[in-house]
Amino acid sequence: MTQEPAQKIFVKEDNSAKIHCESCGLIKTVYLQNLASLTSVVRIRCACAAVFPVRFEYRKFYRKATNLEGTYQMLFDERDIPEFSQAKKTINCRIENISMHGAGVTVLGRHRIVTQARLILGFTLDNPKRTWIEKTGVVQLVEGPYLGLRFDEPASTDRELGFYLMP
């Protein structure tokens, strides 16, 4: 039995979230009082009897959906940071989404990356300048080939990336 992908539900600062039933189209606002008791994926039952999984996302910053080719390398030591060259880079990941403080990355092929691993990520923006960006960070989430990376320095320190992220 294949597992149905969880619908991402964004929780606002007032702990409210809008849940959308894809079966009947009903949209309901719920208020999440006891945040600690929620598991990562919750099954919701709609008034129409449809049952579907949702994942509550607590984000403070806009996350832009992307499809950028990238390259990553594990860092084992602070002196380990390589100089990526655009000419010599080998594409080994796709940047699925990016925000001021991190990125969602899908690794191409197998990997042994675990939570709290340190990485350097390099990618070319699809802006008119084709800007090359390099960011170091810590892996916060590993779900199969998908990694959630938190940058060491926010994108606000990187002007080109900051402009790219403007909605």
Give the pLDDT score at 68.
Answer: 96
Q: Does residue 88 have a pLDDT over 60?
A: no
Distances (CA, A) of 102 to 29, 52, 69, 107, 124: 28, 28, 16, 15, 15
- Pairing verdict, β 51-57 and 7-10: parallel
Percent pLDDT > 90 in the chain is 47
Residue 88: CB partners within 8 Å, gap ≥ 6?
Answer: none
What pTM was estimated for this model as a whole? 0.63
CB 73 within 8 A of CB 82: yes
Q: Do residues 129 and 88 make contact, with C-beta atoms less than 8 angstroms apart?
A: no
40-64 per-position pLDDT tens digit: 788 899 999 999 998 887 766 778 9
pLDDT in tens, 60-80: 677 899 999 999 988 876 665
Q: Which CATH architecture has domain 63-164?
A: Beta Barrel (2.40)
- Provide the pairing of β-strand 63-75 with 51-57: unpaired
- Sorted by where each begins, the domain ranges of the chain are 7-57, 63-164
The DSSP code for 138 is E
